[in-house]
Structure 1
């Protein structure tokens, strides 16, 4: 049995967290939501996480900083980044850091589903 069944949604925008978690649940995933990268990193649940869907631009720690911190902690979790500001340098940094996908807001549910299918 696969123990990593949770998709963690990390976004400072509550409406995005709610919409994304609803989509993920409809696709059959268990979901945990976090309002910041810091709260996700401190959750104590990293070993249960199959994938992280995260905003890049957040107050405090950014999504890219969280990605780096996860690697430093020895957690090579697949991350799907969602951003309204997908510059080429941000895209390159995210993908070089191991991101599965980098999606632009507003996000198409079918595209999120395709990204997650890579993990099943």
Structure 2
């Protein structure tokens, strides 16, 4: 599996307000943030090898956040992944600590908790 030092955080959510809010937080922390409205956009972007962390909504049309994560893993990349969801389930929680899934946050995401999580897994940019 590929593991490389990189500095891009990919934020994937079909809700533009959520993407913008998370991007504002991450930019204020000094991270290079790329926003995507769908999992398909991420897969077409050819940026996976440059992504230090993936923050993705779980429920999205076409390619869910879980499916996106699984496809990235099948491509051979280990990308620390944070799922965000308005609908937490035991099935989703079963993914925690599996193939790089490091956290699951319920919407609305607490900015301080997300910032602390990013600091813990990535340190400072």
**Runs of 4+ displaced beyond 6 Å:** none
Which of 73, 93, 97 aligns to 2:95? It is 93
Where does the alignment leave 5 or more consecutive residues of structure 2 unmatched? Answer: none
Q: Check whether the contact 1:6–1:32 (CA below 8 A) recurs between aligned residues.
A: yes
Q: Check whether the contact 2:83–2:105 (CA below 8 A) recurs between aligned residues.
A: yes
Q: Check whether the contact 1:80–1:115 (CA below 8 A) recurs between aligned residues.
A: no
Q: Check whether the contact 2:78–2:99 (CA below 8 A) recurs between aligned residues.
A: no
**Which digits, 9 at most, give the CA deviation of each residue in 1:24-76, with x for residues without a partner?**
10111110000000100110111111101100000011000111100100111
The normalised TM-score by structure 1 is 0.93
What SS is found at the alignment partner of 1:100?
A: strand
Where does the alignment leave 5 or more consecutive residues of structure 1 unmatched? Answer: none
Report the counterpart of residue 40 of structure 1 in structure 2: 42
Cα offset for 1:115? 1.2
What is the RMSD computed on CA atoms of the aligned residues? 1.3
Paired positions, count: 119
Please show how residues 107-118 of structure 1 align to structure 2 within 5 Å.
107-117=109-119, 118=121
